[in-house]
Structure 1
Amino acid sequence: MEHNRLTDLSESLCTGLRTPTELISEVWTNIARCEARKRIFTVEMEADSRKKAEASFFRYRSGKPLSPLDGLPIAIKDNMDVRGYPTSNGLKTAAEPASHSAEIVLKLEQLGMIVVGKTNLSEIAFTGLGVNPHYGTPPNTVDAAKVPGGSTSGGAAAVGLGLVPVALGTDTGGSIRTPAAWNNLYGIKYTQNAFSSRGVTPLSPFLDAIGFLARHLDDLALVDAALQASDKTRDAEPSDSPLTILIPSHYFFDGMSPDFKEDFDQLTKEMAQQGATVIRQNLPEIDAIARVLGQYGNPVGYEAAANFPALIDDENGLSRAVSDRLASGRAIRDASYQHAIEEIDRIRTRFLAYFDEVSCVLTPTVLSVPPSLTSVQTDLATYQQENARSLHNTRMFNLLNLPTLAMPVPNKSHFSLSISTRPFSETALFSQAKKLEALISQCPITQKPPNGPTNG
């Protein structure tokens, strides 16, 4: 099944060329061969997944599949409840099996998707590097010497290695999009509250969002379409507007590696030559949010400390790098937190005016290639510095509450574009992303032979 498209797998099940039981058997054959499986999966659900594949087989045989996703495998980040299994949240502390599945997991299962396991993550989903000292760090699937990105590190590894075609994760400041970028994957962060968070361990209720990782844009779109068909609360209208791209002229390039900056400038220049309208503009709202964070502190730190107070001083519960972040969040005063979220809400409202003139906002997803795993494991200062860099660009779109999709650039390992639209317009986001994908495939810079690993 390695690297098969979800769309192709769906078609093969619908046409009878393959059965769900055959597909799940292939999944487990691949997982059994994977040397890194114990660093990728915290929980494996082989018996349950085979039983659910049999039920899917009979639905197809009777001509009554639940959706185009029926019988397709998915991996679930282990900060989400799955009935009958403990939720580790990246920690080794014992947990009771969940009595109910998270609502988003239930939605996927009601569409017929088959959960094969729960995936490893950064401790309490609170770093962008993907390092986990308890279960081991999932591999970066492009360069094994690098960090995988986090916190949805196990999901990215499972997809990148072809163990599953799609993985479900969460994103509070870049936890889907950073590992997507560093593993040459597509990753989407939905608008906050696009899906219920029931059954998802909270890190920052103000910023937490749900999303998915896949190797292909059409695969994410297939999952989105099935979820949209079962939930009419979101904007279902695709965008037929021309591709008018807004590129902020600052912030997202601060500290960027020269290679990434050169590639981004050249790519956007070629996109304009291919017919896209590209507008570069100073966006004062970005500076305003940065000032709010500098003055009051980041709401995610405050909320994380409030959600995990017992872990702050638990020397055996968390690594030093994460416990230090929690301690910093505890230092934020209640009044400062309240001022921060009120100011950010006002800035969010002002920012929406840009979408009256443009179809999307485009930035680089990350500032540079991932750091080496050894460097962040052996030096705390390097860890903290690289963690801040890993989330520098992505966190801004959580703070603005914009649905955002990370898109790999062909033949440019770890180099990824970030495309955002107005809140709750995920259908339009996919429309714009497909136009952008077609556009960049025609740009000369993406045709150059790569110097290293490619997007595959």
Structure 2
Amino acid sequence: MQTHTTPFTGWTLHDWQRAYRDEALSPDVLFEVLQQARADDPAWLSLASAEQLARRLALLAEQLAAVQGDLGKLPLYGVPFAVKDNIDVAGWSTSAACPAFAYQAERDATVVARLQAAGAVLIGKTNLDQFATGLVGTRSPFGAVPNAFNPDYVSGGSSSGSASVVARGLVAFALGTDTAGSGRVPAGFNNIVGLKPTKGWLSTHGLVPACRTLDCVSVFALSVADAESVAELAGGYDGADAYSRRNPGTAPVAIGTAPRLAIPDTLEFFGDQRNQAVFEQTLQRLGEMGIELVPVDFTPFRALAEQLYQGPWVAERTVALTAMLESSPQAIDPVVRSVVEQGYRYDARDVYRAEYLRAELSRTINQVLEGFDALLVPTSPTLRTLEEMKVEPVLFNSQFGTYTNFTNLADLSALALPAGMRDDGLPAGITLLAPAWHDHALASLGKRLQAAFDLPLGNTGRSLPPMAKPQPAPESVRVAVVGAHLSGMPLNFQLRNRNAVLVEQTLTAPDYRLYALPGSVPPKPGLARAVEGASIIVELWDIPLARFGEFVAEIPPPLGIGNLQLADGRWVKGFICEPLALASAEDITAFGGWRAFIASRKPA
């Protein structure tokens, strides 16, 4: 599968945004991007025509004019992307990789509408395992999508085409879906990032359902930062989706400098020594980075994973395809049909029993994960050739789902990352999993790991762009603390108990003065801006938005929270003090920070 390359092949969001910001190019270059996407490439099911692209660029120009040329208000301005062909795009066919099922979509899926509102430009729709049933990328009448590194191997599925076009750098990002692992397995097989969001964060309105209670729209990208940015723009509550949820804003928004990760106490690689070697090397490297790895009982995870296809949950797929099964069963891929028809074996009593078991196992899994920042697993235990899949299409597909099938049943968030290259030149991946709404926390660790691993992006040969200055995570408030709330100090627990995470130590602007407040218990400082002052050491903490009010409510007078300027010009929320309380306070500005002052009071 040869790919014609352009100067834009493998560009990340950072690359596109910088080029447009610097006026180094115009969106007309997307005609070149479209030309490199070949119709005979099995990853694509449909491509924008030149006329469609011209109309989209005209609308994009109108969008830019509406915001008076402010590219900051169109964060995906002119960025090319792709969409899995079970997601609706107005005026495009939605086939779910089944020609007999195909229909012309009248309106955009919510996620597509939101991305285009941010300026993204659709290049094409991508191939998939038919009706999103499979983790292999071979169950499509339009042909199997080969691995981006070695065409003898599978790409993974069901979001095979979306993963492939991102891995080869044809678009900056792509939408997939994930019910059993379809947004993670193809990422692992193609050396890219796969973000499987919390159920209900990204709307499924306009998605052809597989298992409606479990389906998630997922994001493929070359970097964790890009995947997180796209998910944030595409996500949010949607009243048109009965399963959409509002983020309660209480979960951690980042993972600290000393992560504690759970790992399975028993690992199965089904004889794939190459995947096993990469995972073991990854564990060793993480340990060297100071990350604590703790084995946990994997039994409940394994038991829940088995429920997805070996129990009544498969009947959800039967419900989704009932009309096709009754009218045109021969139009369905034989392997897909054999899977979906299993749903006829169960009755309502079986479904309720399965739901009770799911709830029990899910509760156990979430209890196991308490006290950990995340669970770390191989994305897939093994990788197979196209020829091997022909021999054992169901067994090998099941093996691919060993570390993915339980995720949505347990209401977990997940992030698949490249981990390294096997000795045969094929990639292997890892996945981080955590409870619902920990998506940004996983991304914070994922960005650090991707930078540390320093692997090429997909199969583009490009390197990861420099990490940007950490910005406050969505659904959080960045707070500067200066005294008793510093890490290791007596009141720091008030932050940690609310899932706040230390971001960095830095300095205020050079016009602040620090005072020791008399009679405060525990001892506390007061910070005030002055005509003549100095830079004072502070710590920046990100606290979940919904917990911020609780935190502020515990702050006693004369202290409060206001706006504080940092040495680099940023403004954050921070501790301030009523001026009247400073008259009897000791000026300790010369110490440069609270820690130095406290140390000076200790006996020699």
TM range (shorter): 0.7 to 0.9
What are the superposed Cα offsets for residues 379-407 of structure 1, whole Å, 9 maximum, x if unpaired?
A: 3xx11111111222211222222111111
Query: Is 1:121–1:152's contact at 8 Å kept on the other side of the alignment?
Result: yes
Q: Which has the higher strand share?
A: 2
2:55, 2:397 → 1: CA distance? Answer: 41
In structure 1, distance between residues paired with 2:274 and 2:102: 45
Tell me, yes or no, if the aligned pair for 2:373 and 2:434 is still in contact at 8 Å. Answer: yes
Higher relative contact order (CA 8 A, sep 6+): 1
Q: If the length of structure 2 is used for normalisation, what is the TM-score?
A: 0.67
Give the SS at the match of 2:58. Answer: helix
2-structure distance, mates of 1:96, 1:270: 49
Question: 1:87 and 2:94 equivalent?
Answer: yes
User: 1:104-115 residue pairs with structure 2 within 5 A?
Assistant: 104-115=111-122
Take 1:204 and 1:25, find their aligned partners in 2: how far apart are those partners? 37
8 A Cα contact 1:245 1:277, kept in partner = yes
Change (3 A) 1:170 1:290: closer
The residue aligned with 1:323 is: 337
Given residue 399 of structure 1, which amino acid in structure 2 is its aligned partner?
A: L
> Counterpart of 2:315 in 1: which secondary structure?
helix
Any conservation in 2 of the 1:267–1:440 contact (CA below 8 Å)? no
- Match of 2:448? 435
Rounded Cα–Cα distance in structure 2 between residues aligned with 1:229 and 1:317? 36
Q: Which amino acid aligns with 1:42?
A: L
> Aligned-residue CA RMSD in angstroms?
2.6
* Cα pair distance change 1:272/1:101, threshold 3 Å: same
Q: Among 244, 248, 273, which residue is 2:260 paired with?
A: 244
Question: What are structure 2's unaligned runs of at least 5 residues?
Answer: 1-7, 239-244, 463-604
> In structure 2, what is the Cα distance between the partners aligned to 1:175 and 1:167?
13
Q: Deviations along 1:361-391, whole A, 9 cap, x unmatched?
A: 100000112x2223334x3xx1111111122
Q: In 1, distance between residues paired with 2:134 and 2:444?
A: 31
Corresponding position of 1:54: 58
- Are 1:360 and 2:367 counterparts? no
Distance in 1 of aligned mates of 2:134 and 2:393: 10
Residue 45 of structure 1, aligned match among 48, 69, 90? 48
Shift in alpha-carbon separation, 1:336–1:254, aligned structure 2, 3 A: farther
| Aligned-partner residue type, residue 436 of structure 1 | L
Using the size of structure 1 for normalisation, the TM-score is: 0.88
Classify 1:311/1:97 alpha carbon distance in 2 versus 1 (closer, same or farther; 3 Å): closer
Q: Where is the helix percentage greater, Structure 1 or Structure 2? A: 1
Q: Distance in 1 between matches of 2:255 and 2:131?
A: 40
Q: Which residue of 2 aligns with 1:450?
A: none
Q: Which one-letter code corresponds to 1:89 in the other structure? A: A
Identity %: 24
Partner of 1:409: 419
State the alpha-carbon separation in 1 of the partners of residues 413 and 36 from structure 2.
Answer: 33
Gaps of 5+ in 1: 448-452
After superposition, the Cα gap between the structure-2 partners of 1:36 and 1:203, relative to the gap in structure 1 and judged at 3 Å, is same
Comparing 217-226 and 197-206, the one that deviates more: 217-226
d(CA) in 2 for partners of 1:29, 1:175: 28
2:490 paired residue number: none
Structure ID, larger Rg? 2
Residue 146 of structure 2 aligns with an amino acid whose one-letter code is: P
Letter matched to residue 58 of structure 2: E
Following the alignment from structure 2 to structure 1, what is the Cα–Cα distance between the partners of residues 444 and 292? 16
Residues 427/64 of structure 1: CA separation in 2 closer, same or farther (3 Å cut): same
Question: 1:336 aligned to 350, 354, 377, which one?
Answer: 350
Aligned partners of 2:246 and 2:213: how far apart in 1?
Answer: 20
For 1:79 and 1:290, the matched residues in 2 are separated by: 24
SS at match of 2:96: coil
Structure 1 residue 26 corresponds to structure 2 residue 25: no
What pairs with 1:117-132 in structure 2 (closer than 5 Å)? 117-132=124-139
Look up the match of 1:64.
Answer: 70
